[in-house]
Amino acid sequence: MPVYELECEGCSERFEELVSSAAEALVCPVCGSVRTRRLLSPVSAPSRQPRGARVRSGESHRREREAARGERLAETKRKRASGEL
């Protein structure tokens, strides 16, 4: 069953309703009028995964964060060993 966006012609209230194909008149939840009309809703474009060198997966982001953290820890250990900290 699709979800339709509707508008009441009596009170101009907009609402969404889960509608079966056999449904005829829908009632406005605000004023109770049966004078409702279905609105045309914009359709969202299908999601696409962009391609190219700048696209990285979540896994590659995680590996980069872990590598940077490891480098910071190694730098801190080196400074502690040399007495800088």
pTM tops 0.85, yes or no: no
Going by pLDDT thresholds of 50, 70 and 90, the confidence category of residue 72 is: very high
Say what the pLDDT of residue 26 is.
86
Q: Give the closest residue to 20 by CA, choosing from 39, 47, 2.
A: 2
DSSP the chain: --EEEEEETTT--EEEEE--TT------TTT--S-EEEPPPPPPPPP----STT---HHHHHHHHHHHHHHHHHHHHHHHHHT--
Regarding predicted confidence, which is higher, 3 or 56?
Answer: 3
What is the number of alpha carbons within 13 Å of residue 68 lying toward its C-beta? 6
Say what the pLDDT of residue 61 is.
80
Averaged pLDDT, 8-27:
85
pLDDT of 23 over the 90 cut: no
Question: Would you call 73 exposed, middle or buried from its count of C-beta atoms within 10 A (0-12, 13-18, 19+)?
Answer: exposed
The pLDDT tens digits of the residues spanning 24-70 come to 778 898 998 889 988 887 766 666 666 665 666 777 788 889 999 99
